[in-house]
Amino acid sequence: MYTNTAHNIYTQNNVGIESPYKLVSMLYEGVLRFNAQAKKAMKDGDVEKTTYWINRSVAVITELIAILDFKQGEVALYLDGLYGYQINSLFNANANDDTTKIDEVSGVFKGLLEAWRETTDVA
Q: What pLDDT sits at residue 17? A: 59
Based on its alpha-carbon atoms, the radius of gyration of the chain, rounded to whole angstroms, reads 14
Per residue in 46-83, pLDDT (tens digit) is 999 999 999 999 999 999 999 999 998 899 999 999 99
Which residue type does 83 have? Answer: Y
Predicted TM-score (pTM) of the model is 0.83
Q: Which of 6-15, 30-39, 40-49 shows the lowest per-residue confidence on average (mean pLDDT)?
A: 6-15
Between CA 89 and CA 87 the distance in angstroms is 5
Q: Is the pLDDT of residue 37 over 60?
A: yes
Between CA 28 and CA 22 the distance in angstroms is 10
Per residue in 94-116, pLDDT (tens digit) is 999 999 999 999 999 999 999 99
Q: What pLDDT sits at residue 18? A: 66
Domain ranges (residues) in the chain: 4-120
CATH no., domain 4-120: 1.20.120.340
Between CA 60 and CA 30 the distance in angstroms is 7
